[in-house]
Structure 1
Amino acid sequence: MAESVVQLKCMCKHDPWGKKGQDSLAARLAAKTPGTDFKIDNNQFYSEMWMGTYPTVPSFVLSTGESLQDYLKKHPEFIGKSVLDRAGPDIPFLPKILSMTKALPLQVHPDRKLAEQLHQRDPKKFGDPNHKPEIAVALSKFELFAGWKPLNDIQSIFGLKPLQRFIPSGHTHFNDETLRRISKSLLEAPENVVAETTDQLSRLPESAFGQQLYIPGLLDRLRKQYTEFDNGNLIAVLMMNFLTLGPGDAVFIPADGIHAYLSGDIVECMARSDNVLNTGFCPRAERDSVDLFTQALTFVPHDPQEAILPSQKSDKGMNGKTREYAPPISEFNMLATCLNAGESETVKSILGPSIMIVTKGSGKMRVPNKTFDIQEGYVYFVGQGVPLEFETESGLGVYRAYAE
């Protein structure tokens, strides 16, 4: 008889912004699947561990070796009627563990309408017609750029002499259209202009930056990562919110929300898509059209607090040990169950599929008629309608993305 809860084997990617060898949480978690042939090479970069059915980096059922996608096609009853009607025998979200030591590309994910057009035009590059809103929950100190600073803050920075050349004529009072045009000017600026502007800014006294004293130091840090010629440096540092989060803190990035993750380890979840437009923090040859990028931009969020996704105690946790991250989209929510030594939690059944990963500690997970010994790095698909009981002698952290 098919099992509604199965352990998964997940793969890890090697993007150059990832962490090296054992430093990468993504690699360490991926290597802990029992019986895996995945071994960590300390000279290799490890960036993302993917969990789910997306075909680029699929997950496999540990006991049978078949892909989770094939398993669910044979057993669509584990998806649950409402998700099955909406998404077919598939997982409508894509969870990942990311470990990063330098900035990811400055990017937006096209909304559904643009994604459909791009997929039709170039299905090899844009592999699906879906949008890609996402959340990121910090597992360590996590630095990122997300969304836009308040207009007044941007306007005051662009009053500095080295930046005045980028202000469109007639724009004495900034609005979002001003930002779109400045973004285009900054992204189209020749390399020598980018380097010269960065150099001029670094020579200004710290006091010139008002409340934003971090700007010169951050420009210098990015210049060392991606050279002084990268257009992304200026957009990110001058115009975007720079956030530092601690473990358990989270952000929501809407479709078309500009962002660039900078450092740390996170659990991320997004709608089931891999579409992205990049224009900075990557080689020039890999950048997308500036026209397309600036056309796709939206101006949400427009304040650091608007980017934050608070968690709240979940009514699915019977003992009050489970918190929920609920972004304003229909594709998924995420539960975080955190137990200290000797604690337990029962999580009510969910009317849809879920994927869970143990991010720290060890313990037992009981489902009807079966008990699993679980530990850091173990990943499971949980079918609809299955209550879970967790207990631990040493402490346990579990993240679980689900659709209902």
Structure 2
Amino acid sequence: MDRLANTVRPYAWGSTTAIPDLLGTAPTGEPQAEMWMGAHPGAPSRIDRGTGAEPLSAVIDAAPEAELGEATVKKFGPHLPFLLKILAAGAPLSLQVHPNLVQARRGYEDEQRSGVPIDAPHRNYKDANHKPELVCALTPFDGLCGFRAPGESAELLAALEVDSLEPYVDLLRAHPEEAALREVLTAVLTADPEEMRVTVTEAATAAGRLGGAHAPYAAIAHHYPGDPGVIAAMLLNYVQLQPGEALFLGAGVPHAYLNGLGVEIMANSDNVLRCGLTPKHVDVPELLRIVRFEATDPGVLRPEAAPDGEELYDTPIDEFRLSRYVRPEGAAPLTLPASPAQILLCTAGEPGVGQLTLAPGRSVFVPAGENVTLSGAGTIYRATVVA
């Protein structure tokens, strides 16, 4: 078992205080958006087994079956198949979707053949993997997830009484679900930028005046004035998670995180297609090919009781399995069964993990087959795979 030294990513949308508050460190004044735990090449965690700190990715590369487990390597290859994060949103993230596995492989191969540099700002596919993800709230957490029913979106837009939105309202009311959602999103993202800027400004002003169900979109527009993603966001379900609740985001589901602190886990990928709320590249044709144009229930997840006090967030993905242990004062020590490689993250208290004590925001990597005993009080998130 190894303590992890993790990298914090300073993306502009990050909170300046949430991650420092969790870690018990002083804020720097700069945004601290994500803390990565895992072996992603973009920011691998580091461990020290007595010969100096080295990337977890290099340790796994040197002995993948010993570190990950034979079954994991056979199923997913010689790489840790998930990435665990602490995510701290102080402003809305970009409105985005992720490809499925077939789409990711095809898109990556096409861009490789075309010679698009891997770090090019217009590159869509940084790897050949899909990116299903799960976010679990540590504080009240707001987000957008999946399309609303077209009729609901029509009513939300109509209440703004903005003349330039009336064609979208008519489309949403008159067309079948898939056609309505596709046509409106396409129209929003391909509209004249100056005309759309005016529309968004008028819509944001009206949303601020109306409040209620419109208030989240006025707040989004405050961060992204004139961005067409503000109108696209009104097509989506607004979701408020309470601590312990979670959202699962599958392929093709448009979503954005708006505010709050959470634990996020995903397949080990960086493939993102953006719809708006960003100054970054938006590839409209490729986006429209990936998006699933269907109204969905966001499906808020709550942990399900499993043996030995484990609480499991059940998802249809094998690359990751997220659960937690909420241990009260006086709880008896508990030995976790041997499993594939896992990462244990403390979010509250100071529980014992083997011979180590973890403070909030600290984590350990546990190689495959190694038993771990939990002791003391606190909350521990456990990330592993379904192998």
The TM-score with structure 1 as length reference comes to 0.84
Which aligned runs of 4 or more in structure 1 are off by greater than 3 angstroms?
A: 155-162, 167-171, 198-207
Aligned-residue offset at 1:169: 6.5
Distance 1:62 1:337 in 2: 26
Distance 1:299 1:252 in 2: 17
- Is residue 2:54 matched to residue 1:60? no
Distance 1:147 1:345 in 2: 41
| Inter-CA distance 94–150: structure 2 relative to 1 (3 Å threshold) | same
Per the alignment, residue 19 of structure 1 pairs with 15
Aligned-partner SS, 1:97:
strand
**Deviation digits for residues 308-331 of structure 1 (CA, Å, limit 9, x no counterpart):** 22320122xx2x2x2011211111
- Residues 335 and 401, structure 1, Cα contact 8 Å, conserved in 2: yes
| Inter-CA distance 191–78: structure 2 relative to 1 (3 Å threshold) | same
**Deviation digits for residues 262-282 of structure 1 (CA, Å, limit 9, x no counterpart):** 001010000110110113111
Superposition pairs for residues 57-206 of structure 1, below 5 Å? 57-63=43-49, 64-75=52-63, 76-120=65-109, 121=111, 122=116, 124=118, 125=123, 126-157=125-156, 162=162, 163-166=165-168, 172-201=174-203
Which consecutive residues of structure 1, in runs of 5 or more, have no partner in the other structure? 33-38
Please, which of 216, 240, 256 is the counterpart of residue 260 of structure 1?
A: 256
- Residues 335 and 400, structure 1, Cα contact 8 Å, conserved in 2: yes
Aligned-partner SS, 1:214:
helix
- Residues 344 and 389, structure 1, Cα contact 8 Å, conserved in 2: no
- Residues 96 and 275, structure 2, Cα contact 8 Å, conserved in 1: yes
Report which stretch shifted further, 196-205 or 77-86. Answer: 196-205
Aligned-partner SS, 1:342:
coil
Per the alignment, residue 233 of structure 1 pairs with 230
Distance 2:8 2:290 in 1: 30
RMSD: 2.5
Per the alignment, residue 275 of structure 1 pairs with 271
Report which stretch shifted further, 250-259 or 341-350. Answer: 341-350
Superposition pairs for residues 363-402 of structure 1, below 5 Å? 363-366=351-354, 371-392=355-376, 395-402=377-384
- Residues 49 and 98, structure 1, Cα contact 8 Å, conserved in 2: yes
Distance 1:245 1:170 in 2: 28
Distance 2:203 2:60 in 1: 55
Superposition pairs for residues 187-336 of structure 1, below 5 Å? 187-201=189-203, 213-215=212-214, 217-227=215-225, 229-236=226-233, 238-283=234-279, 286-299=280-293, 302-304=296-298, 306=299, 308-315=300-307, 318=308, 320=309, 322-336=310-324
Aligned-residue identity in percent: 26
- Residues 311 and 325, structure 2, Cα contact 8 Å, conserved in 1: yes
- Is residue 2:334 matched to residue 1:346? yes
